[in-house]
Structure 1
Amino acid sequence: MTKSNPNLQVISTEGAPAAIGPYSQAIKLGGLLFTSGQIPLDPAGNLVEGGIEEQTHQVFRNLQAVLAEAGATFQDVVKATVFLKDMNQFAIVNGIYSSYFGDHKPARSAVEVARLPKDVFVEIEVIASTNVE
């Protein structure tokens, strides 16, 4: 039997694809927001057609929707983790990543993985601060 933590707030938005398993789009705990990894599914749950560019933009649209639901933006992100099917596409993803973060440079890890859900090219998760000063 698991004990529920009353300090955890589940974040869910129709602006991003629904969780397709036993997880939440994001969890807010105190002043931090932890998103689940976003893959290039549109809000209806359909895989985005196209290559790494189209997939990466959809991932960022999904992250933006989840962040907004929690009252945050990309400027509030403190850590990002990027999972890539092919590290040779890192420069493309990095350019798109930069366009969403602008001058803001959160801590980041980028790793190549053997396989991602639905055989997509990219998955990204973030941790953001939701404290309003």
Structure 2
Amino acid sequence: MHPVAGYHHAAIAGGMLIVAGQVARDPQGNWVGAGDAGAQAAQVYRNIGLILAEAGAGPDNVVKITTIMIDRADGPAITAARRAFFGEHRPPHTGFIVNGLGSPEVRVEVEVVAWLGDG
């Protein structure tokens, strides 16, 4: 994962893994999918997959998704990436459309919460 300043990509609280909003940066910190929300969403979910794996979890552990996007028209492409990542697993999902995100390159940001168990 690319390093970020001022916070961690994820934290564990009890049996929960809280994943910070992920954007379309590759492991070296380069932007992926300029102007293409579907390509960005695919990278976002690759990043989420890496974070889940580091915690010993996978997509089926996710119990909540929040998606933030800047353009309603990007919804179908972002949804396709989400469904490709989760397969038949359908955790609760909330979506927001906003005027902008942290950088002008960012069309979509996704955060998740995963259940790791009681141990």
Q: How far, CA to CA, are the matches of 1:73 and 1:130 in structure 2?
A: 9
TM-score by length of 2: 0.92
Alignment of 1:39-58 (within 5 A): 39-50=23-34, 51-58=36-43
Q: Which residue of 1 aligns with 2:97?
A: 112
The unaligned stretches of length 5 or more in structure 1 are: 1-15
Q: TM-score, normalised by structure 1?
A: 0.83
Q: Mean alpha-carbon deviation: is it higher for 107-116 or for 46-55?
A: 46-55
Larger RCO, structure (CA 8 Å, separation 6 or more): 2
Q: How does 1:1-133 map to 2 (within 5 A)?
A: 16-19=1-4, 21-50=5-34, 51-119=36-104, 120-131=106-117
| Structure 1 consecutive aligned stretches of length 4 or more whose deviation exceeds 3 Å | none
User: How many corresponding residue pairs?
Assistant: 117
Once residues 132 and 72 of structure 1 are traced to their aligned partners in structure 2, the CA distance between those partners, rounded to angstroms, is: 13
Kindly name which structure, 1 or 2, has the bigger radius of gyration based on alpha carbons: 1
In structure 1, the residue corresponding to 2:114 is in which secondary structure? strand
1-side partners of 2:80 and 2:40: how far apart?
Answer: 13
Superposed CA RMSD:
1.4
> Which ranges in structure 2 are unaligned for 5 or more consecutive residues?
none
